[in-house]
Structure 1
Amino acid sequence: MDTVNLATLYDLPAMDWAAVGAGLEAGFAQAPGQGGPDRHTCWLTTLNADGSPHVTALGALWVDGAFWFETGETTRKGRNLARDPRCALSLATHDFDLTVNGSAVHVTDPETVARLAAAWAEGGWPCRVDDSGTALTAEFSAPSAGTPPWAIYRIDATSATALGTVEPGGATRWTF
């Protein structure tokens, strides 16, 4: 991993990726009334066919050192990812703002899908594995997710940038 301190101008130390990971492991509730001024929202950026960005809010999880999200394959983000898996995910937490760049990998392994369904359910979204065993279903999801079944994606990160929002602050970019 390559670490670049972006805050040397202010004599601030480089942020520690392990501390950022520990903050993500601690969780970032996305239900209204929790987290950030009112909640933590993840923002996913994909690329439209003309190369312009498409940014949308979504519910993401941090599991096994990676961000995971779900969406319908016929949504704009689903179609964009099928054509070009490059994406970025952004999140503001209490201690840091974070952007992760990488590629979204469509995950269909039944054991992984079941484990992620359980993690989302534990976080308050009562989803479950669909009959195929490779996607999710539920009575509801965000309108931008489209209709079920919902595919699961893992972001394989190539780089990340964090901005510390509490003392001592800092700004750091990591390349993986």
Structure 2
Amino acid sequence: MITEHEPQTALDTRFSSPDATATAWPEGRAGLAAAELYWLSTVRRDGRPHVTPLIAVWLDGALCFCTGPDEQKARNLAHDPRCAITTGAGVLREGLDLVVEGAAEPVRDDATLRRIAAAYVAKYGEEWTFQVRDGAFHHEGHEALVFRVAPATAFGFRKGEYGQTRWRF
């Protein structure tokens, strides 16, 4: 189990309403944990961006997700682990949009993978049950690699009374 560190929190007044306040990290973390859908941005070998939706779980201070070894995002992360994961309400005037920037680290330890698999079932239901063996998830004859992205920097974009918060870890 990894200990989660409290980040430095700062409101960017250049991009915030005059009376906005910084969003506290516990609220940002709760939003990351509760979201159902995320968008992963990676970089292809030729430098072009690749963005794809996925599901993920927050565990031990990081977002964890899985992908097939032959999928574009897995190939991109193999050559450059830097990525961004975004989530939010998808509406203009309310809510909190969140961005996590970091490096995707492969998770191969079966004990940790079992904890991540249990978190998938708890969050998304029994249809997301994975078998764990040989350092990967397995489901209906398919293998999935598992990655964790601990935030290096994260951003919260509060809408309505607009405020942009940066969390540095």
* Aligned residue runs from structure 1 range 122-137, under 5 A: 122=122, 123-124=124-125, 125-132=127-134, 134-137=135-138
- 1:67 corresponds to 2:68: no
Secondary structure at the counterpart of residue 4 of structure 1: strand
Q: Give the CA deviation at 1:15.
A: 1.5
C-alpha distance in 2 between matches for 1:44 and 1:136: 19
C-alpha distance in 2 between matches for 1:152 and 1:107: 5
* Alpha-carbon contact 1:105-1:153 (below 8 Å) kept: yes
Corresponding position of 1:100? 100
* Alpha-carbon contact 1:7-1:13 (below 8 Å) kept: no
Runs of 4+ in structure 1 off by over 4 angstroms are none
* Alpha-carbon contact 1:70-1:150 (below 8 Å) kept: yes
Secondary structure at the counterpart of residue 117 of structure 1: helix
Q: Give the CA deviation at 1:110.
A: 0.7
Secondary structure at the counterpart of residue 157 of structure 1: coil
Q: Give the CA deviation at 1:107.
A: 0.4
Q: Give the CA deviation at 1:169.
A: 4.3
* Alpha-carbon contact 1:97-1:163 (below 8 Å) kept: yes
Length, aligned pairs only = 155
Secondary structure at the counterpart of residue 81 of structure 1: helix
Match of 1:160 among 137, 146, 154: 154
Q: Give the CA deviation at 1:129.
A: 2.2
Corresponding position of 2:3? none
- 1:151 corresponds to 2:145: yes
Corresponding position of 1:3? 9
C-alpha distance in 1 between matches for 2:95 and 2:112: 29
Secondary structure at the counterpart of residue 78 of structure 1: helix
* Aligned residue runs from structure 1 range 10-159, under 5 A: 10-11=17-18, 12-25=20-33, 27-28=34-35, 30=36, 41-93=37-89, 95-122=95-122, 123-124=124-125, 125-132=127-134, 134-139=135-140, 148-159=142-153
C-alpha distance in 2 between matches for 1:6 and 1:156: 22
Secondary structure at the counterpart of residue 112 of structure 1: helix
C-alpha distance in 1 between matches for 2:150 and 2:40: 14
- Work out the percentage of aligned pairs sharing the same amino acid: 36
* Alpha-carbon contact 1:135-1:149 (below 8 Å) kept: yes
Q: Give the CA deviation at 1:4.
A: 3.1
Over aligned residues, Cα RMSD in angstroms? 2.0
Query: TM-score, normalized by length of structure 2?
Result: 0.82
